Amino acid sequence: MAEPVREAIRELMTQTMATIDTLLEASDRELTMASSHACAQGKDLWTLITNDIDHEKIHTGQKPPTNRA
């Protein structure tokens, strides 16, 4: 079980880094563009990105429940 979880985490990290690389290439003008995504809260792309970062931090702090019989 540990190996599939490890592979899933590595894939998630790879995808996250690809997204970060893309965002780092964005200009300041692009980051201040309006976003229609609900998570942007009616604001710009920068708000969307920071909201998503906060959202992921919340998930990172969570752990799955322990199965106890």
- In this predicted model, what pLDDT tens digit does every residue of 11-67 receive, in sequence order? 988 988 888 888 889 899 999 999 999 989 999 999 988 888 888 788 777 666 666
Domains of the chain: which residue ranges? 28-60
- pLDDT at residue 68, as a whole number: 52
- pLDDT at residue 41, as a whole number: 92
* Token pair listed for 7: 């592979």
Would you give the DSSP letter of residue 32? T
Q: Side chain identity at 30, as an amino acid letter? A: E
- pLDDT at residue 57, as a whole number: 80
Cα dihedral sign, 61-37-32-28: positive
Q: DSSP alpha helices (H): ranges in the chain?
A: 2-24, 28-31, 45-61
Count Cβ neighbours within 10 Å for each residue of 26-39 and write b for 16 or more, e otherwise: eeeeeeeeebeeee
- pLDDT at residue 16, as a whole number: 82
